[in-house]
Amino acid sequence: MSVPSVPIPNRSWASLFKSNSDAPRNSVIVEDKRAADEEVEVCPSVKHPGDSESCVDTDRHRRMWKYINGHCVDGRAANLRPRGLINPGNFCFMNAVLQALVACSPLFNLLSGLSQVNASNGKRTSTPVIDGMCHFAREFDRLPMNATKVKNTRRRRSEGGNRTIITDVSLMPSRMHQMLGDIRSDMVTGRQQDAEEYLGCILNGLHEEMLGLTKATGNGADAEAAEVGSVSGGFGRTPIADIFGGLLRSRIHRDGDRATDNFEPFFTLQLDIRRARTVREALETLVAKHSLEGLVSSRTNRVVEAWQQVTLDELPVILVLHLKCFDFGYGGCRKITRALEYPLELSIDGNLLSTNACLTTQKKGRRYKLFAVVYHDGREAGRGHYLTDAFHSTYGSWIRYDDASVRPVQQDDALKPQGDRVPYLLFYRHSDNVKRK
């Protein structure tokens, strides 16, 4: 019997931050026991707070824990000076993802505040991902106060045309290369990687290290509270989960039986686009009902009609959509280059939500706005180039980050890519996420 399951993000890089005892569960079953999670290989070179072999700085851990524990999601614009990232060879996957994360104000504001209490001396520590991302955030400067006035003047001069923007010199993100090598000892330098897997590496790494800080500081009540999320089906509570964490509910209905729920937390929502022409159609495919055959009623012990449906149970502040443009089949992997329509403003309708989400989420909390797109450019799945378009609120313009190249582009350029360039990761933010706990 084959039972469809909730889409689970690729584990290859994210699994580096999983352990048998500390990691939040990938699924929690209610009233039904399903197959246990597959084994996840843990890279022995990764050390976290609380590991006996880790380099522990208790005072620094306590300072970071105090900041993390009291953090509120801050979506105010960071007003950063754009700067390109130098690519020493096949690191476009990293540069594209990092530019999208810099454009994510809640994350950048978190890293900016955390870097003020994270006085790392550059040596190997038990929090390599936090250290690397904080160091990277410090490489960006704020725009001068008169930048907004400059923006308005230039907008009047060139209606609809490219605007002149103030940029910083391009940066070689050597610390991020080093961090990746530290947590991925088997990585071959210079080999192209998948952008979504790298994003998962960063988000899962930050999340797991923050959970580890709570445990390492000996704050038992807070550690127990952090684990409540994983026990109830979601992530443990961290600022990363507060920003990016969402929850899927997979419900199996059997005639004459109670429904069985399976919960899956996510940082990126994976969408099958093989038959979709729009993101809306891909979301509807995700929540479509699927008939199940061969399921037996627990009451009558007889085969009954059954079906399964996946819905969104909790919505994140930052919704990252992973458009699965790489189709793996018997003939290998091919790239889907068909044009896909994605909106500037995305509304999560009630038919996409679970009953619980419909009751707890107000309509205004279901509206999102696009702020960054990571593209894969190239005809083949095994090769190509990643780049990013991100909206800059101070300039009121979309900016294209193609490694060291930084230039303004039109909104249509961001929403309607041409040729073999396809959207791979879509970053949406809540329309009202200025300040959230």
Catalytic residues: 92, 385
132 CB burial (10 A radius; 0-12, 13-18, 19+): buried
**Rounded to whole angstroms, how far apart are CA atoms 401 and 109?**
20
DSSP 171-212: E--HHHHHHHHHH-TT--TT----HHHHHHHHHHHHHHHHHH
**Rounded to whole angstroms, how far apart are CA atoms 400 and 410?**
10
Task: Tell me how far the alpha carbon of residue 320 is from its chain's centroid.
Answer: 5
Q: Which residues contact 39 (CB under 8 A, 6 or more apart)?
A: none
395: helix, coil or strand?
coil
Length of the chain, please? 437
**Rounded to whole angstroms, how far apart are CA atoms 119 and 138?**
12
**Among positive and negative, which fits the CA dihedral 180, 185, 186, 190?**
positive
Which among 311, 391, 387 is positioned nearest to 355, based on CA atoms? 311
Residue 153 is classified by DSSP as H
Strands 83-85 and 168-171: parallel
* Cβ atoms of residues 118 and 60 within 8 Å: yes
CA trace torsion 82, 374, 402, 185 (10° rounding): 100
430 CB burial (10 A radius; 0-12, 13-18, 19+): buried
**Rounded to whole angstroms, how far apart are CA atoms 286 and 283?**
5
Q: Encoding tokens for residue 315? A: 């919505």
* Cβ atoms of residues 62 and 33 within 8 Å: no
